[in-house]
Each structure stands twice: as C-alpha cells, then as structure tokens.
Structure 1
C-alpha cells in the first residue's frame, strides 16, 4: 500500500503542476483580454495561481480534520520556497532585489509570519484569527492595486476567449482533485510507516505544492529576470500565510501542536534572514543562497530525526 500511495502522490504532484500551469495561463490571458493592467494580473492572478496547490491542499486537509497537514503544508512550503528554491536559484545565479521589494514585501512577510506565530502560540488558529490574516491579505492586494493604477492597462478586447476559460476552469478542477489525492495518500503513508502527519506535511506535501513556485522562479532566472524570481517567491509566501492559512482557519479552526509552533518559529527566523540578505547590496548572492539551502536541509533533518 505504501508503494501505491507513493505512486498516487507522484500522480497528484504532476496534476498540481499541470493544473496550476493551465489555471495561471487561462486566467492571465482572460484578464488581459478584459483590459486588466499587467501589474494587477501579476500580483493577483499569478500569485494565486502559484499558491493554488497550497490553498487547495491546506483547505482540504482542514475540512477532513487533518490540521497538522494544513499548517505543516504552509509552513513547509514557505521554508522550502525561501530555503531550497530561493537559495537554490541563487546558487545558480545571484538574484537581484529592489528597494520596494525589501521595504514593502519582505517587511510584510516578516510581520505576517510574526503575527501567525503569535496566533498559534496558544496551540490554536481560530476563525477570528484566520479572518484577521485573510483581511490583511485583502488590504495588501487593495494597496497594490491602487499603487498600480498609474500604470497603463493592457490592450484588452473586452471579451472572453472560451478556450482560455476552459483552461482556467479545467486547470482549477485538476488542482482540486490532485490536492485531495495528495492529502489522502500522504496521510496513508504517515499511518503506514509511523511518521507523523506533521513531518509528511512539512516535507512530501510541501515539496509537491511548491512545484509551481519552483518552475516559475527557475524559468525567470534562466531568462535573466532574477527580480521576478525573488518577487514571485516572497509574494507566494505572503499569500500562503495570510490567504491560505487565513481562509483555512475561517473554514475550520485549526489546532496547532508543539511541532507546529516550533515550525512557525523556524519559519520566522528564515524569513528574517531572507529579509536581511535581500537588503545587503540589493542581491541574494551565491554564498547567501548556499546558507539558505543548508538551513532548509538542517530543518528537514531535525524534523525527520
């Protein structure tokens, strides 16, 4: 059964990747055809699209009473995004940052992660706390939209292109189905091999749901657009903390064990380190990337021990 569940996880991961890619493509093209500014498309559609696997898996796990998987998926995905992915891409090519990215987005990520740690310190993430997180995301997106109003809108045709609508709806359906399959299979493996659901969520599930961020960041770095890599990962992490966990807690309050509190504290430390290295010389260097990868690897080893 473990082998079957492992194969199902592989199928689910491929489904998450393909589904998220189709969802982002369809949604972005539809938004542009309707004349939505490119900046707004990038900050909303793409951010949600790359976080769609985390969103679906986390909410699905909350609905079926697997709170450890819910919290571990978000914490693990963010640590993975900032450790293995951001650090790994920086090892290949130093990543440029901007003053706005550091002052606005990195600061918000530090603040939102600290807020999350404060909320879960009592062993529970309640509906009101989830609503506060989700409302903070809406306020952030509203600020970004207002800040982007000075830019020019895309030359939209003002009509839907039905193949793009099909990609949007079909991609989201695949993500939802694959997310449910990933949660079910990961929980079965945890029960079969005696590993906690927290560890499975922090490693296997988090790695699977972080594939869209990995693909987007690596593609951007290969094209020399390293600023997009950094911005995509920071934006996705903000969306995960405020949007994904916030909405999951609104749907169903989440009990958080000691591992969850400790994992969130580790995440806060990682976020602060990323904010610091992004600020130094406006670049994440190869050495700093290696440090982030090493810390992420240490975190996995400590949890698997």
Structure 2
C-alpha cells in the first residue's frame, strides 16, 4: 500500500512541480525582458517536458531503460490518443495548418526518425547528439518565425515569487520523478509487468499530466483551438529533447518491442493527425471517442508483451 501511495505522490509532485516551474520561470523571463514568443518556445516548452526529462534520465541512470524509452514513446501516444481525444470529446477542436504551421512536419519527422534511432538496439551518444542538433535547428527556425505565445503564458509579476516558484517547482519535479520511477519499478516486479509497459502506461500518463491539464482546461474554457498546438510541441520536445539529452548523458538499451510494436503505433497516429490537419481541418466528438477507445485497446492489447 505504501508503494502505491508513493506512486500517486510522485504523479502529483510531477503535475504540481511542472506547473510551478513553468509559471516561475516564465515570470523571471518576463521580468528580464525576454519576449513572450521565446518564453513559449523554450521555457514553457522545456518546463512542461521537465517531468519526462527527469523521469527518463532517472530511469536510464538507474538501469531501467524500459521506463526511460517507454516514457517518451508512451507520452507521445498518450498525448495524441488520450489528451487530444479527451479534448475532442469535451468539444470539437480545430485542426488547421494555421494553428501549427511547420511544427506538424517536425512532429512527423521526429516520429519517422524513431525506427532509425532504435534500429541498432541502443540510443547512444551519436543518436543523442543528432536529436539535440535537430532540436536546436527547430528552435532557431521557430525564433525566426512569427509565432506569438503571449496568450498562453500565465506568470507571476514578483521577482521573488518567480524565483521561489521556479526553485520549488524544480525540487518538486525532481523528487516526484525519483519516487515515481522507483515505485513503478517495484509494482512492475510484483505483478510481473515489464518495465517497458510500466513506462508506456502509468509513467507516460503521469508525465503527460501537465499537457492533459492544460488541454482539458482550455477545452472547458472554449479555447479548444490551442489543444493541437500544445500536443504537437510536446511531442517534438519529447523525442528531440528528452530522448536526445538522456542518450547524451547515458546510453539507453532499446527493448525490441519498441521497434516492432510501439514505434509503428506512434508513426501511425502521427500520420493520422497530419491527415486530419490536411484533409479534414477539425476533430469532432465521435473522432475523439474513437481515439480514447483506441488508446484503451492499445494498452489492453500490448500489456502482455
């Protein structure tokens, strides 16, 4: 029972810590005159991905590569099928090129690169450097664009409050990541569930809580048009930043199931989103419900692998 309480506590710490970190860091950036666009692309983007980064890094350093990679791959699957599906069930959402621009191509390219990255059976230093280099190119091109994220930034105006929230958020996320990985590994061993599956399900959903909360609240407020942009940005950061930075620090062995089962799922649903953006332009409640059912089916069918 204590292990389950620690698991829930770790998930809660990731959710709260990620929110505090983004708000605090955004407040500091605004105080020092950094533009809202740059804040949205870097601080908010990296901030909401901090739970994934620390969980994957913690797992890789702790000799739990299944959780490290499963967290990244599972988060991308959860972002599309679960988070986007819930948003669409709450109310139809727009899926226009104007909302995501070239980012949709970057998300697709990152997903298509996964088989190449996993093919050798290990994500090592060279793969990590290539991913981080791609991330830097993405950020550079984004800075040259005209995207303005001012409307999605909510930050404290006080300098000391910003510093306090940033430090509190960072410490909370670090603690949450540590205890989440440890408790999830114990539970996996108790039930004979593979670390890969734990990473793809419980840990992935847990680290996607910031995106889930942001998207659901936006949908409830009627701001459903920003849902796709949030998910596209998160999926890009998950592969390029989280997987890349983790691999640079420590090589990550790849469970064969990621190459044969989960990566094809990521690619298929990413291409589905691309098709919806190009040919449909919106997602209704029926499509959202179908995505939720697909996510439940995916978890159920792959749980024994």
Counterpart of 1:171 in structure 2 is 169
Instruction: Give the CA deviation at 1:102.
Output: 4.9
Partners in 2 of 1:79 and 1:151 — Cα distance?
25
Helix, strand or coil at the partner of 2:102: helix
Q: Select which of 24, 47, 64 maps to 1:66.
A: 64
In structure 1, distance between residues paired with 2:149 and 2:41: 13
User: Cα distance, 1:291 vs. partner?
Assistant: 2.4
Alpha-carbon distance, 1:26 to partner: 0.5
Aligned length: 297
Give per-residue Cα distances to partners, 1:70-111, cap 9 Å, x unaligned: 000011111001001101111111111332445511211111
Within-5 A mapping of 1:28-43: 28-43=26-41
Query: Structure 1 residue 283 and structure 2 residue 282: aligned?
Result: yes
Q: Compared with structure 1, are the counterparts of its residues 150 and 20 closer, same or farther at alpha carbon in structure 2 (3 Å cutoff)?
A: closer
Of 196, 199, 209, the residue aligned with 1:198 is 196
**Given the two structures, how large is their TM-score scaled by the length of structure 2?**
0.92
Alignment partners' CA distance in 1, 2:149 and 2:219: 25
| Match runs of 1:199-218 below 5 Å | 199-218=197-216
Alpha-carbon separation, structure 1, partners of 2:293 and 2:212: 17
Give runs of aligned pairs for residues 90-169 of structure 1, distance below 5 A.
90-148=88-146, 161-169=159-167
Contact 1:278–1:284, Cα closer than 8 Å, also in 2: no
| Aligned-residue offset at 1:149 | 8.6
CA distance in 2, matches of 1:173, 1:102: 32
State the SS of the aligned residue for 1:195: coil
5+ residue gaps in structure 1? 153-158
Q: CA RMSD in A?
A: 1.8
| Cα distance in 2, alignment partners of residues 46 and 177 from structure 1 | 20
Once the 2 structures are TM-superposed, how far is the Cα of residue 287 of structure 1 from its aligned partner? 2.4
Equivalent residue, structure 1, for 2:302: 303
Q: Is the 8 A contact 1:68 1:260 kept in 2?
A: no
What corresponds to 2:264 in structure 1?
265
* 2: CA distance, partners of 1:61 / 1:197: 10
Q: Render the CA deviation track for 1:93-149: whole Å, top value 9, x for unaligned.
A: 111133244551121111111112211023221110111111111111111112149
SS at 2:246's partner residue?
helix
Give the 3-state SS of the residue equivalent to 1:122 in structure 2: coil
**Displacement after TM superposition at 1:150 (Å):** 9.2
TM-score (norm 1): 0.92
Q: Give 1:267 deviation, angstroms.
A: 0.9
* Cα deviation code 1:150-192 (max 9, x no counterpart): 999xxxxxx9812211111110111011101100111111111
Partners in 2 of 1:284 and 1:247 — Cα distance? Answer: 34
Are residue 54 (structure 1) and residue 52 (structure 2) matched?
yes
- In 2, Cα distance between equivalents of 1:278 and 1:172: 35
What pairs with 1:221-236 in structure 2 (closer than 5 Å)? 221-236=219-234
**More displaced, 91-100 or 242-251?**
91-100
Give structure 2 stretches of 5+ with no counterpart.
151-156
